Structure 1
Amino acid sequence: MPHLKSLYPDVSPLTEYLNIWDSILGQPHQASFPDYTVHQDEETGTTYTFKELKKRIDDLAASLSRPVSQGGLGLVGEKREMIGIMCDNSSEFVVLAIALLKIAVPFALISCYSTPFELKNALKIARVTRLFAAPQYFSKALPVVQEVGIPKDQVYVMYSQIDGYAVARQVHKDHLAFLFFSSGTTGLPKAVMISHGNLEFAFRQAMAIQQEKLAVAKPTPPMTPDGIPAILAFLPMHHTFGFHIYIIRAFAAPTRYIILRKWDATTVLKSIPKYKISMISMVPSMYHQIVNHPDFLKTDLSTITISHSGAAHLPQEIATKFRNQTPNIVFFSDGYGMSETTVSAIVRPYPGTLNGRLEALQGSSGVLLPGMEARIVREDGSEAGFNEVGELWLKGGNVVLGYFDNVDATRETFIDGWLRTGDHFKVNEQQYFFFADRRKDTLKISGSQVSPVEIEEVLLAHPQKLVADVTVAGVSGGRTSDEKVPHAWIVLTDNGRRLGPQNVIVELDKWHKENLSRYKWIRGGIEIVEEIPKSPTGKTLRRLLQDRYEQRKGMKSKL
């Protein structure tokens, strides 16, 4: 099977110099927008109109770029800067991110849920020079930034405002826009380098898909009082999925965003009828929580006309439960993507697009986005045939620059312009892709990547040196049938044996929860073993350990 090209027309070529700002908020048609409410904080009720938001972004861009001698921060200068953003969902997050994109100063998206251990790693990996933190995270961040050597006067509390104006700075299409932390295809978290060109290409892909859809279906009028579609913004803005929906693509047409600081299924179900939500995007674990919530069947979801799932594979049974309760949905969109493709690579097409050629094929992840190419590769490196499972390789303008300051990982993952995804797919003769499984060790939990290696390093770093050897791998027990949770197999040191197995488990359970974000916790349990099985070359036989675990679990369930 030769490598495949997208069925859609190609994305228009990018100019050599550009700035994603021009596509986000520099479009001529935006001048005719009504001054609608674009942001509403669900918790406080604070609102901003489109014009107010744009002025806040312009003002902040000016204050960030203005020379220090004139009261600004002087970010656009000779010094190489990397700005860290540590903030939960808020209008202020959107303002700061777009202002930095406008002046072309790169930034790193740092999870506001980071433990001190994770924050220290993120700051060091990204080589952050200044940190902007929301007030509620400032005190937690300050000791860590001082430890890594960031001066105290280069740490800022967000939500300040200075008047002024800055022109969008045109930069080369490969100019770094921001870093997003991902576990990549294997190993410890890496900082993915996303360029202005990557963002522009992904933006054009999304607009091309929307144009194809509009050619066969008129938008369903929203049920909001002013006729402006409403979206609940609860996906983390520091995650690539939420970042693109709520920031990069948010202003292509008038849309209201009801901002939730964090995900809460009860609040979401209450908010859908309250704000007459038109469109909703979630990761599979969120869909799972919604359809199993006690209020799900009692909630009026009739205002939802479009639903989208991303970041991980959505089991069909969950999608069906959700669709059965949303009578007015005209399209349930699914797809496949990863940080290394900026946001998406494969999308389930709207039925009837491309002159009736495409359909939303049941069980399929979809077809390649415009401008993308793909190969399905066997273990020996040869090309797989149609309907044969192999590793998915991708190419396109949305494939990122690589991993920041990590030449080895970049070389292993990005080969001659191709991205090795580490995921197994098959593709049929009509070029519909079907997810098979994950070849890589990385786990997907609640839509986020979790590195077993990172968990292993935390366990090994216990100050009492309790662990001589450790392996972490995914086992059954997640929210969906194909979501795996981390399980740890450990070999004790002499210190560990003296403390005793049960005390070690208690101690390590406490230790890793203090040093890792909640979604990385070892929900599959900690197991003490005499040795970790290895191959003759020293490679850990994770599959053997996983099979033993599942066999024991199966036997227990029969008793």
Structure 2
Amino acid sequence: MPIHSLYPPLPPVPDANVVHTMFGRPDQAEWPDYTIHVEEKTGRKRTYKHFLKQVELGATALGAKLSHGGLGLNGDGDEMIGLMGDNSLEYIDIILSLLMVTTPFALISAYSTRFELVHALKVTKVTRVFVDAKLLDNVLAAIEDPDVHITPDKIYILSGQPVNGRKSFGQIVDLVMRNKVPLEPVRPAKKDTLAYLLMSSGTSGLPKAVMITHGNDTFSHYQLTVINQLAVPFLGPRATMQIIVGVLPMFHTYGLHAYVLRATLAPATYVILEKWNTVQYLKTITKYRATTLTLIPSAIHQLVNHPDIKTTDLSSVNIIISGAAYLPPELAAQMKSFLNEKSVVEQMYGLSESTLVPFTRPTEGMLNMPANTTGILVPGLTARIVREDGTDAATGEAGELWLRGDNIVRGYWNNSQANANTFVDGWLRTGDRFSADAKGYFFFADRAKDTLKVSGTQVSPMEIEDVLFAHPEKLISDVSVAGVSGGRTDDEKVPRAWIVLSSSGQKKGPAAVITALEQWHRESLSKYKWLRGGIEVVKEIPKTPTGKIMRRVLQEEYERRAKKSWAKL
């Protein structure tokens, strides 16, 4: 039977542009003009009012008429803007500016190879791209693909040194300022107005584009507001203004919400780091007396195993929030040992298809929850735990987690088959297994879907399989990719491939094929997708009578051999 949130119902959620929940609220009139952003790489700082002004100017640069020096984006549905860059003030500004002028955008990984970028551009059908200067060559190479319909004049610089003859976001903003163009107002939006696309592997296959609407984000903001209002009496030191280190990539839903979309719900200072570097991260905590750290398990693993952590002053940190993948209790305890006694390390379960998180762990003191629980449903969300036969699981029984609520997305962009597999009668099938007790507390069981989590990022086995199949010499006739032991944590798996040689592969020989495929896939895929578990030649891939690959058979055989090998050492 459906399980409902323990939180009170949400107040009426307006049918409006999500920007209205971020700026111009009555409570913000009482705020001091505090420092909201510090960009560590450049040293740039800005106050809340300066930030708001920059977003308004950015929206004007994008939305003003061409004759006034703007780009003339009118939000009529003909444009899809691709964004590709590392964390920066410009990245924050352009996201909010595009939301203001109701022009949808696609967030594309800054780590994309040409192969991955071509796929992302084809799937999202972007019409223009704003890209960091250092990543420009990658985009110019990708648009040479005949299936990517973007001309070079539709590519702009987002952040970094200007490139001769190519407009940058900053230059367009400066132009409308010089021309004294009237500021563009926040344009109206409905609950189902598309806001942006996030690239996600979903449950299988190549990355899909998740559609997030203005209504999804607005509803998500209201959920957090209700949670925070009830938590205020229990916050203690966290009730004061927080200093947050922003290092997670903003093209990922976690970083996007943590540092951009939820950054104005309460006064806080965000120290923006371009990308992850363990030494720099530890220095930044001390330099700015950071209070809040948003991390993923693999980053925590790097921190606790780095020698500098023993000499780093972490006394200012009062909370660490880990997300994007399962955080083993042992690793959480190890991280906690470096913090002050009252600090907490919390785990968050989230997925792009639910906008951000379906569960929350109420602040300590609100509920007497078991340490191993994932949490309770956020306000306004309903869940089911479903057996393989489609019936509801009993209390305490594990099954697939299904979710329903206005923070559940509309589906995948132009992918009817994936939508049919993932969204059923208004419910999102998460592909993850949970159980729930009689109190409404949820407990993670395991990941039912084939998708792996490597360094907090989804990795699709099918995407890697497709790359191996695409080798120009056609070296394999069949392949299966699955996760095996070898990650940074006991829980994390790394990709391993089992291949069946084709006739050309047999002529080349097993050793030469493995060498060729190692080089090929590393050139085609981002590093976190590399086959760190290795490549193995097999006679056949085990399958069910219906043709479904039996990955577990391959995994168990590998683990058995690996365990036996370790025992001999």
* TM-score class normalised by the smaller sequence: over 0.9
SS in 1 for 2:380: coil
- Offset of residue 49 of structure 1: 2.0
Deviation at 1:398, TM superposition (A): 0.7
Shift of 1:217: 3.5
1:84 CA displacement: 0.3
- Alignment of 1:364 with 2:373, yes or no, is yes
Aligned-partner Cα distance in 2 for 1:524–1:329: 39
State whether structure 2 residue 378 is matched by structure 1 residue 385.
no
Which AA in structure 2 matches 1:76?
N
- CA RMSD of superposed structures (Å): 1.4
Residue in structure 2 matched with residue 130 of structure 1 by the alignment: 128
What's the counterpart of residue 161 of structure 2? none
Preserved CA contact (<8 Å) 1:37 1:256: yes
AA aligned opposite 1:140 = N
Give how far 1:293 is off: 1.4
1:530 corresponds, among 521, 528, 539, to: 539
Show the counterpart of 1:186: 204
**Secondary structure at the counterpart of residue 36 of structure 2:** strand
* SS of aligned partner of 1:171: coil
Matched, 1:339 2:357: no
Give the corresponding residue for 2:292. 279
**How far apart are residue 334 of structure 1 and its match?**
2.0
Match of 2:219 in 1: 201
Deviation (angstroms), 1:8 = 0.1
Alignment of 1:197-236 (within 5 A): 197-220=215-238, 228-236=241-249
2:43 aligns with: 45
3-state DSSP class of the match of 2:543?
coil
Is the 2:435–2:445 Cα contact (8 Å) retained in structure 1?
A: yes
Corresponding position of 1:310: 323
The question of whether the paired residues in 2 share the 8 Å contact of 1:309 and 1:333 is answered with yes
Q: Counterparts of 1:56-455 in structure 2 under 5 Å?
A: 56-76=54-74, 78=76, 80-147=78-145, 148-158=148-158, 159-160=169-170, 161-162=173-174, 163=177, 164=181, 165-220=183-238, 228-353=241-366, 358-455=367-464
Q: Which amino acid aligns with 1:303?
A: S
TM-score by length of 1: 0.95
Tell me: CA distance 1:329–1:115, structure 2 relative to 1, closer, same or farther (3 Å).
Answer: farther
Cα deviation, 1:1-59, whole Å, max 9, x if unaligned, reads x21100001122323x3011011223233233322222212122122222222111101
Letter in 2 for 1:483: E
Total equivalences in the alignment: 548
The unaligned stretches of length 5 or more in structure 2 are: 159-168
Q: Is the 8 A contact 2:200 2:210 kept in 1?
A: yes
Q: Does 1:512 align with 2:521?
A: yes
Contact 2:232-2:239 at 8 Å conserved across structures: no
Displacement of 1:229: 2.5
Deviation sequence 1:122-172 (CA, Å, 0-9, x none)? 001011111000111112211212431201111111241232411111111
CA drift at 1:253 = 2.1
Q: Could you say which residue in structure 1 is the equivalent of 2:530?
A: 521
In 1, the alpha carbon distance for the partners of 2:477 and 2:24 equals 57
Residue 265 (structure 1) shift: 1.5
- Which of these residues, 495, 501, 510, is aligned with residue 501 of structure 1? 510
2:164 is matched with none
Query: CA offsets, 1:425-445, max 9 Å, x none?
Result: 111111111101011100011
Cα distance in 2, alignment partners of residues 9 and 77 from structure 1: 36
Q: Aligned-pair distance for 1:408?
A: 1.2
Counterpart of 2:312, as a letter, is T
Residues in 2 aligned to 1:430 and 1:318: alpha-carbon distance in whole angstroms = 27
Q: What are the Cα deviations for residues 63-97 of structure 1, in whole angstroms up to 9, with x where unaligned?
A: 11112232211111546111000010001100000
Q: Matched residue of 2:130: which SS?
A: strand
Letter in 2 for 1:529: V
Residues 349 and 359 in structure 1, CA contact (< 8 A), matched pair in contact too = no
Q: Scaled by the length of structure 2, what TM-score is found?
A: 0.94
Q: Is residue 3 of structure 1 aligned with residue 2 of structure 2? A: yes
CA contact (8 A) 2:245 2:272 kept: yes
Amino acid at match of 2:33: D
Report if the CA contact (8 A) 1:174-1:196 is conserved.
yes
More displaced 10-residue stretch of structure 1: 491-500 or 361-370: 491-500
Deviations 1:312-346 (A, max 9, x none): 11110011111121115444332311110000001
Q: Distance in 2 between matches of 1:328 and 1:100?
A: 43
> For the Cα contact (< 8 Å) 1:304–1:329, is it kept in 2?
no
Name the CA distance, whole Å, in 2 between partners of 1:27 and 1:248.
15
Contact kept, 8 Å, 1:304 with 1:328, in 2: the verdict is: no
Q: Deviations over 1:89-125 (max 9, x none)?
A: 0011000000001111110000011001000000010
**1:477 equivalent in alignment to 2:511:** no
In structure 2, how many angstroms separate the alpha carbons of the residues matched to 1:350 and 1:361? 13
Letter of the 1:326 partner, please give it: L
**1:232-269 CA distance string (max 9 Å, x none):** 11000000000001001111222111111101122111
